[in-house]
Structure formats: structure tokens, C-alpha cells
Amino acid sequence: MICKEVMRKLEERWNPSYALEWDNVGLLVGREEKEIKKIFTALDATEETIAQALEFGSDLLITHHPMIFSPVKKVTSADFIGRRLITMIQADLCYYAMHTNFDVKGMAQLNQECLGLTDCEVLEETAPGEGIGRVGALEGTMDLKQFAGKVRNDFEIPDVRMYGDPAAIIHRVAVSSGSGKSMIRGAIEKGADVIVTGDVDYHSAIDAVAQGIAVIDAGHYGTEYGFIAYMRQELETMFPELAVGTARVHHPYRVV
């Protein structure tokens, strides 16, 4: 199967038209006519994941986050992005990114299911009936400290940051994967008791608490690395004739 045929099937499920206008999705490196026999999935195209993809013998690397956002003016070994591009091109490795189009058509559902939320609605609509994040209900209630432990366990991450009264009662939950501090206002408007997201700065968090909503910062990686295993399962179903490999789960920081 050639690369553009793989792309066509991917885009039937996760159409690039759902991506936000600032995003950069689709085939970022490589030849559309490249023969694909092995696909490798990762959250990011780092030196480590590219090396793992090549060790697997991959013809196509699929990540959630695009490696290229800003215009690339030079491709040289003096720049870390340049080195990655050179490695891919020399290896004839195709590279495809599916970012906010997957956030809309996949990640929000993954996060909702991970936390066991019911009666869900879109947190921020970006297309008719579709959008970023979810707001839904827990089956019962629990206090914020208990809920923080649930988030840590459900996402299988080493820790979370909790902002708010540990004894506050939690029932209605907003979740937005990745960097979601911009979603706090929408979560408040939709009556959430807490928002689960990542990359929340100090002032955004304490301002949210002052407005009556707790914050659980589960990390950018922590709320999105589920993409890796999910995509492997989906790709194996969509392309049974192809081999699919995955990047090793590696949380990018440690608490010391």
C-alpha cells in the first residue's frame, strides 16, 4: 500500500478539515508514492521516537503533535529540527501528523472514556456538533482530593497538580487534553466543578479557583499519550496487512 492510500483512509476518519486554522497536520515529510509496509506511532517526533521508528523498520511515522509549526528557513545539522528532518529524508521515512483534527475526532472521546464521564457535551465547539474537550458527569460524587487520585490512576501517570479545596465536592467534570488553560472559561460557563487538563500556569490556576472551579493539571503528555496505544489498535484494524509499532511510554519529567 502506498503512502497516499494510507493517508486517504486516515483522512476519512480524522479529516484535516477539523484541524484548527493555526495547526499543521497531514504529510509533513516524505513521498506520497512511498510503499508502506510498517507504521510507527508516537506522540512526538523526537530523536528518540524517530530512532525507535527506524529500528522497527518503519516506512511511515504517525504522531499527534506536528514537529513543524513555524516556517523552516534552513535544514541543516546545526538545528535540532533540521537534524530530525535530515534523518527522516535520508531514511526515506514518511512523517504524518494528526493534531487538532484528532483532538476533535478522537482525543476528547478518549479522555471522556478514561474518566468514565456520562451525559457528555462538547466543551468548545469548533464545527457543528464537534469540538475540543468534553464536559460530563461522574457516576456519583467524590471530594477533590479523591478525584485527583482518580485522575492520576485513570491516566496512569505518576502525579497531578491539584488547585482548589481538597474537600470540595466534585460531580460535573470538564476535560481538555494537552494545554487547556484557555478552556477554563468555557468549563465555568458549563457548570463544571473541576477541569482536567495540562500546562496550567500559576495565575490561571488560582484565578480559576477564585471563580469557583477547581483545576487538576495532569500534564500535557499525561492527558495525551493514550494516542499511541489507541492509534495502534485503530491502525491494526484499518490496515491488517501492515505491521504497526509504537513508541515506548516515557513521561518527560520526574518529580524529585
130 annotated as a binding-site residue = no
Neighbour-count burial for 145-160, b at 16+ CB within 10 Å, e otherwise = eebbebbbeebebeeb
Q: Has 65 been labeled as part of a binding site?
A: yes
Is 241 among the annotated ligand-binding positions? no
* Rounded-to-integer distance, Cα 114 and Cα 136, Å: 12
> 30 vs 62, 90, 238, CA distance in Å?
12, 10, 21
Residue 237 corresponds to which cell in the numbers above?
484494524
Give the strands of the sheet with 26-29, arranged side by side.
26-29, 94-97, 60-63, 38-42, 243-246
| Backbone φ, ψ for residue 181 (5° rounding) | -65, -25
- Is 99 assigned a ligand-binding role in the annotation? no
Distance CA 173, CA 191 (A): 9
224 is in an annotated binding site: yes
Cα(first)–Cα(last) distance of the chain, in Å? 47
* d(C-alpha 76, C-alpha 53), whole Å: 21
The binding site comprises 64-65, 103, 220, 224
Annotated binding-site ranges for a divalent metal cation: 64-65, 103, 220, 224
